[in-house]
């Protein structure tokens, strides 16, 4: 199903703006980063496939090599670099928080 076929209030970007990022599923958040799908697969479907392929979590995604994720149909350099950048931002935020709390 194409995202355009989903009622507007239920689309990931619109849900994020209305309810907040914490209300979206992992696949919906990832779909926003992916931005577009491919012929025959929506960004949400590709995101579902990625999440399932890495063990069902962002932690699993963070532990995978870029080349491994690029084996998933529909994932090319543009999409994986966006995801990799978001994961690195998350790592740096976590590290800064831990450092500020004196845990590191």
Looking at the structure of the chain, the number of domains it has is 1
- Helical ranges in 1-104 per DSSP H: 12-19, 26-34, 43-53, 58-62, 66-69, 77-100
Q: Which pLDDT value is given to residue 96? A: 92
pLDDT string in tens for the chain (104-residue length): 778 888 888 999 999 999 999 999 999 999 999 999 998 899 999 999 999 999 998 989 988 989 999 998 889 999 999 999 999 999 999 999 988 887 65
Q: Domain containing 27: what range?
A: 3-100
Q: What is the pLDDT of residue 104?
A: 55
Cβ neighbourhood burial of 34 (10 Å; 0-12, 13-18, 19+):
buried
What is the pTM assigned to this prediction? 0.87
């Amino acid at each position: 199903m194409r995202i355009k076929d989903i009622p507007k209030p239920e689309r990931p970007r619109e849900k994020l703006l209305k309810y907040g990022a914490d209300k979206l599923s992992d696949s919906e958040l990832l779909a926003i980063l992916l931005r577009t799908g491919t012929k025959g697969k929506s960004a949400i479907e590709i995101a579902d496939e990625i999440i399932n392929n890495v063990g069902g979590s962002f932690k699993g995604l963070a532990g995978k090599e870029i080349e491994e994720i690029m084996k998933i149909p529909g994932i090319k350099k543009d999409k994986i670099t966006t995801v990799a950048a978001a994961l690195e931002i998350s790592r740096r935020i976590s590290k800064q928080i831990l450092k500020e709390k004196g845990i590191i």
